[in-house]
Structure 1
């Protein structure tokens, strides 16, 4: 599907290492997660990875006007995203500070314990308290469940008030029990969340498969060679079916089996990672299908950086990419998305009834620049543009790299090839470019 793999879920395990506080028992533990802050299980294989796979969502279907990458880049300029980023960075700083404090306290505790295994000196008692308190702070920095945070903070008060090794040992056991309960709830909750996400991807994929089957059937009825497309679609369906099977296996372990059992969690994580891999593989197949479909479709032109696209007709033209466009239109609607913020738009030789720029409600963060009832000549250029022109008659030329989709009645020429516009285009195209 990130662009960049499919993140499954993060879970960490923290247990206290307070060997020898009391003769009555040993609190054996592993604290590697406290040292490593957190560990992550990813959908693209292996722990300690975060694979956003560039998971190109399978809903980037054959009729989608804008791909997911452009949408993501557009959204990143919104103020809400900036605020979220700042909150995330602040939370990471808090977690890292707590982790560093924990590591220092642990090292000090281990050093003192090596000299005084009974931990019965005042220095040892203080070191143990510092270690327990820093453990609690590190745990709470990684939690968002108020119930467990409150329980840990209550135990923190007891640690502060403790004066004996026995009291600290009791607190250590209580802290460990609270953390284990919190961890189990977190793991199960994460499993449910990822199950829902994978299920949503599968549902979208099933809808996409129906649309692709319909388009391939139409092409076949028109006498086109669709053998390769049929093979790719069969491979895509097989991969998505495998992903669903893995998802069901994980679901059974998380939701229907003993969801807090460590072995079950490892098995469920393995299935989730496999589902993520299958989804990633399916999207590689999907991209190949779309490339193949582009070669068959009327009115779809891939601008490869050389040559000039020339087109004329009536209907709708949508051009995206690093492009330079000259157009002449009559009674048209022109919408321009400037995703890089470097667009140059010249409408000196055109008249229009309305523009959101001149109306004063257009800013640098605008999602689109709109011109209504435009007639005349316009020049547009920019490194990341999406331009939609709907007109009763238009002539245009375009150069650069990107794509052009022409729908309505018209003809075009590009690099020695000529063609006709697609007979129709999705009705919601204009709505999508403005939302």
Structure 2
């Protein structure tokens, strides 16, 4: 994956400018919480800058552009939240007052970042996806407003009503994030299946960053209700998780957009759409089934193709394999679907069988030579797949002959 950095940006100078700016703010006792908040402000601004200076080609698509601006909005709200915490000193007043501001800005921030992930996953969002977060935010604001004006107490007073409103608001936030986590995990599983049905090697690992980010956002939402009542070391631990999680999400998003990974995902998705259109066009409503004649046709083509060693060429995508077999790609796709296997799983199983045969015939061959002969991308991937399939390393397989 390509590396991406803020070249030419002097972080020390930016930090110094921030300190000079914060000196102009209302005086506060400098303590660990202030330093924590100051660090958060700097990090959020730098992450927003990183998103803003992404190369134009990286965000040229509609989905990438929308995702980028949603990420900018999310990090901007987080930075605003920490700036207000610094200026107003709400943590010094009490955890409840700080939680009121946290909920008011954390909810829309998480909403925006969740929508950004959905956009980068599917290129679009549904109306439910769009408005679930808006409704959750509105409910939280109404709860806080009603509680704040109860008994004609000052806005920043620590009242039981406000605390209960924050608990209810946190539960609403948790429900919102739970919905988005569920949607994102379903989409992620679909993306991995799309990759597995197109490429001949395991490409799903390139989406691990997305899974980690989804889980992190969910964990953060789960911890918010607890933070209403706690402070000290536990709060510091949450802060560390928060910084690492947000930084990882934004940084990985930037790497994903500027690398070839996004283009590879798009290529696989386009193939999936074309295969589905071919299925409907040729088979009609019964597109998930295959006639006996076509089944026999595919099996004969596969048998001939494997006998000629067609499966031993590295980098063989499903459309290329179907073309070499001289069958429509939708037939190969439906045949694999009926057998309950993905394309990458199927072709690598064939290669593993060839590797076993090769090791029996040539026990003196190196793993590198076997991997190259059998169509694996490299030695490490061959060893990994071989052990997953047989429960043994290649060396153990040869020793146990």
TM range (shorter): 0.3 to 0.5
With normalisation by structure 1, the TM-score equals 0.31
Say which structure is richer in helix: 2
